[in-house]
Amino acid sequence: MHPPYRQDYVSISLTGQGSGGYNNSKQWRRQSCWRKWKQLSRLQRSLILFILLLLFICGIASYPTVTEHLRGLTDEEQDTDSNSVLKPVIPHVLPEPIKQDHPALPEQLSQRKLSNRRGPPVLQNRLQRKGNTSDTVAEDKPAGDQKEGEEEGVISWPGVVIDTEQATEGTKEKEDSPANPEAKSSKESVSRLEAVREAFRHAWKGYKDFAWGHDELRPISKSYSEWFGLGLTLIDALDTMWILGLKEEFEEAKAWVATELTFNKNVDVNLFESTIRILGGLLSTYHLTGDSMFLDKAKEIGSRLMPAFNTPSKIPYSDVNIGKGTAHPPRWTSDSTVAEVTSIQLEFRELSRLTQDPQYEAAVAEVMNQVHKLDGKLDGLVPMFINTNNGQFTHQGIYTLGARADSYYEYLLKQWIQGGKKENQLLEDYLQAIEGVKKNLLQTSSPNGLTFVGEVSHGQFSPKMDHLVCFLPGTLALGAHSGLAADHMDLAKQLMETCYQMYVQMETGLSPEIVHFNMHQGSTRDIDVKLADRHNLLRPETVESLFYMYRFTKDHKYQDWGWEILQNFNKYTKVSSGGYTSINNVRDPEYPSPRDKMESFFLGETLKYLYLLFSDDTNLISLDQYVFNTEAHPLPVWPSTA
């Protein structure tokens, strides 16, 4: 039962002088307080004591923090007094990788280091022509500010530990750099080249340990995936190992090709992917090494792919059974993609030249001739699909330089270069297409005016740009180097800046697969990324174009941009047990969400182009003597017969 209600009151008695007056003595006050305390119930007294005790404990706990804060304020006041001019903010410098001679990190780490966010993805200080003078500065987490059980330099996910140890040595280059800029550049170049070799060795270790002889490594589950069952990663990486000077790794891969690789398999392969990765890789390695074994293997796979061209229109089917000698379109359509049927020419033309068998070149030349004559283009821009029965474009009205059309434009220029710049039809189609890009697909973003290549769908422009489109700056630069209009190089520089911004405006410093650009006045950011487009597959297109841009301009900023990208690959995609993984979310540096797959082109293209980018040796795969296929396999420019 509750106690009976008792109304509290305050009583004031006014007495006369004779009664002794008001007593304000300390003793009287103590007695009055004690009397009031005794009037409280036991529950009330306990509650008051508990609150006082709690306040006392909180005060003790907060005392060091408060004093430290006050001390810091005092120090800041002193610094302000002694330095009346504000010091410049030091921009975030991406770190240099360390040598991997330390012991492997344990897989069982349960804690995850919180990565340094780059803050809101705002435009970096690269747009000098727009007067943007502000940089985004990352707040570095103090070295000691980590939870118990965490190891510095590690992002730990269930079943995987991704090594970010490279973040510990990012400023040593500046501290140790000599005063001579040329010596500094040389030292920096050697350091970066070695960093690429280390990245390759790490990726190769994962492939060798867990996926040897199979198509692709799954680094997190320490297993593999098969696409064709032909050792795609190994073949794709052959010429990369040769160029990087990794002779031991090359020799063990060569032994596998000589003794284990067989194409006599009842398996369907994609004509395009098999051509650019396997045929292209074998031809390239033959030219670099002079070993005829690789040419013999190239002849075999080339002949086994030829049934794809046995169609009513001579436009090849997408799939070939290399064991049965049969070919067919995909199950759901009779169409092939335009990019796939027009991006196998470099390889088959070279195979004919080496074997003196004209059937290969004749087959792919017929495809180019037909596409050249077709209606349905938009100022030289082609649709994405072509029918294998009637040889006509299908799904017309959609024009893009992204997936399913991209390398058509690349191979127009490169075939012209490969053949000694004599095939004018190829050049005319290329030049017309570039003008079509300028007229129909080129726009600028808001607020910073980034130049980008969008898409057109049935007359409507879309500000969507695939990362695949970032091949274009390099292709434009190659054309300008080969004697085409100088404004191609101007456009290349603008698009190169845009592709770089697709990286630096993401919190991980890695580009998503697809971006959308803002074009409305009043936009606060240039780039938006939809949730489904935030993955990164370790793609090469941006570093490919950086290589071309540096090779032709010698502007070191392109090397620096590539260095940042390599560091972020190391930070967010490197798996400690070996290999690198694609990630699902470039917007979340704390948990990028690994996809557990290392695409073969990471070794075949991405690391190769990074190595060539950091090299100052213009004779290392001279662009006057070689042309790269769309899988980064260098094939020779044909000698002039005139």
> Using CA of residue 66, residue 69, residue 74, residue 75, what is the dihedral sign?
positive
CA–CA separation, 214 and 217 (whole Å) = 8
Any idea of the CA torsion for 613, 618, 620, 622, to the nearest 10 degrees? 110
The beta strand positions in 264-416, using DSSP E, are 268-270, 319-321, 326-328, 335-337, 385-387, 393-394, 398-399
| From 96, 216, 249, 406, active-site residue | 406
CA–CA separation, 336 and 334 (whole Å) = 7
> Using CA of residue 334, residue 336, residue 338, residue 344, what is the dihedral sign?
negative
Residue with tokens 């002889």: 213
**Cβ(151)–Cβ(113) under 8 Å?**
yes
**Cβ(548)–Cβ(478) under 8 Å?**
yes
- Name the 3-class secondary structure at 182: helix
CA–CA separation, 166 and 626 (whole Å) = 34
Residue 435 falls in the annotated catalytic set = no
**Cβ(129)–Cβ(450) under 8 Å?**
no
Q: Supply angle C-alpha 596, 600, 604, rounded to 5.
A: 140
Q: How many CB atoms lie within 10 A of CB 523?
A: 15
**Cβ(156)–Cβ(111) under 8 Å?**
yes
Specify the DSSP element, H or E, that contains 199. helix 181-210
CA–CA separation, 641 and 421 (whole Å) = 12
CA–CA separation, 166 and 171 (whole Å) = 11
| From 239, 541, 605, 631, active-site residue | 541
Any idea of the CA torsion for 188, 190, 196, 199, to the nearest 10 degrees? -90
- Name the 3-class secondary structure at 103: coil
**Cβ(598)–Cβ(223) under 8 Å?**
no
Specify the DSSP element, H or E, that contains 28. helix 26-39
Q: Where are the alpha helices (DSSP H) in 447-588?
A: 472-481, 487-504, 541-553, 557-572
Complete DSSP assignment for 564-589: HHHHHHHHHTBBTTS-B--BS-TT-S
Q: And the tokens for 12?
A: 């004031």
**Cβ(430)–Cβ(416) under 8 Å?**
yes
Residue 541 falls in the annotated catalytic set = yes
Residue 188 falls in the annotated catalytic set = no
| From 513, 564, 605, 631, active-site residue | 513
User: Smallest Cα–Cα separation from 118: which of 407, 509, 573?
Assistant: 509
Residue 198 falls in the annotated catalytic set = no
CA–CA separation, 322 and 266 (whole Å) = 7
| From 273, 428, 590, 616, active-site residue | 273
- Alpha carbon 217 to its chain centroid, in Å, reads 18
Amino acid letter, 624:
D
Distances (CA, A) of 552 to 126, 434, 493, 556, 610: 20, 20, 11, 11, 15
Which positions are catalytic? Answer: 273, 406, 513, 541
